[in-house]
A = this chain, B = another copy of it.
């Protein structure tokens, strides 16, 4: 396993004005998560990688993020949600039930 947790934020932007993750702040949240993981010294091989991704095709439930290899899908609203995903799931391996996608 190259990364223990490989996290993909949808940062897709639809120009037509349709619902998309980018319109709901996903780019800023991806950067926030990436910077926080780096500051916690958990970034890199054997640790965590926070990636941008194109459309994950679950737009109506977004903004969305998926954590592999465990294939856990979350939504989020703000930095507080991102912090909980990091502190609970990425650090301690405990899934954040309240943010799970249905």
Contact = CB atoms under 8 A, between A and B. Distances in A.
B49 A51 contact: no
A2 B73 CA distance: 9
Nearest to A49: B57
Interface in A1-31: 1-3, 6, 8, 11
Q: Which 10 A-B residue pairs are closest in the complex by CB-CB distance?
A: A52-B54, A68-B68, A69-B69, A69-B71, A53-B53, A51-B54, A51-B53, A1-B71, A68-B69, A2-B73
Number of copies: 2
Interface in A51-102: 51-58, 66, 68-71, 73
A49 B56 CA distance: 8
Contacts of A70: 69
